[in-house]
Amino acid sequence: MTERAENLAPVPGDQTLPAERLKAFADAVVAIAMTLLILPLMESVGDAAADGLATIEWLNENAGQLFSFALSFLLIANFWLTHHRLFAGIHRVTAGLLWLTIAWMFTIVWLPIATALLGQLEEDAGQKVLYIGTLAMTSLVMLLIRLYVLRHPALHDIPRPRLRSGLVADVVMLALFLLALAVAVLFPAVGYWAMFLLLLVAPLHRLLVRQE
């Protein structure tokens, strides 16, 4: 624990624990979830070998799974980067922050299931709700975590303006996930291409922060 962390004020009436073990646990859970994404593709390689398929045939047959794997891997990596940057400044955790982080990890661990459905089943509204809805839940829990941290300054040494900027980014991302879900369900022809709305996160964040 750093000298700055040791000088943090105590949290009245709330037992706190060092944050390092929670950070390590979250990192391990994310790493496992990212690894699980590849398992359906590993199984399909064995099936392709048994059926005597060529490499290009395997690639064509599993194009949907390859796309869903790459997309989910990138999204989990982005979620982890956001979590890592926030928790770099958090030095103690309360029970409330602990359980919020566990909820965040739950959504991360569930994503490989939603990804497998996306890559192997025919596209339908339920699949879109499950996949994009899971991503929205991850964003929502991250927003709640940041709000909790903002309300408990004794747990961290993160500058308040940086926290508020992060909150704006979380709200924008959550709103775009929900918009993408609505577009994907209401306009089946668009489908998962609605996820490209997430490219607006950075410009909208800059615009909103500038206006504060």
pLDDT digits (tens, 9 = 90+) for 115-155: 988 877 788 899 999 999 999 999 999 999 999 999 999 99
Residue 4 pLDDT class (50, 70, 90 cuts): very low
pTM of this prediction? 0.88
Per-residue model confidence (pLDDT) at position 14: 56
Are 209 and 168 a contacting pair, CB within 8 Å?
Answer: yes
Q: What is the C-alpha separation between 96 and 99, in angstroms, rounded? A: 5
pLDDT digits (tens, 9 = 90+) for 103-125: 999 999 999 999 988 877 788 89
Distances (CA, A) of 128 to 14, 110, 154: 40, 14, 40
pLDDT digits (tens, 9 = 90+) for 44-79: 888 778 878 888 888 888 888 898 899 999 999 999
Per-residue model confidence (pLDDT) at position 62: 83
Q: What is the CA radius of gyration of the chain?
A: 20
Q: Is the pLDDT of residue 19 over 80?
A: yes
DSSP 93: E
- Which 3 state secondary structure label does DSSP give 81? helix
Q: Comparing C-alpha atoms, which of 86, 68, 93, 81 is closest to residue 146? A: 86
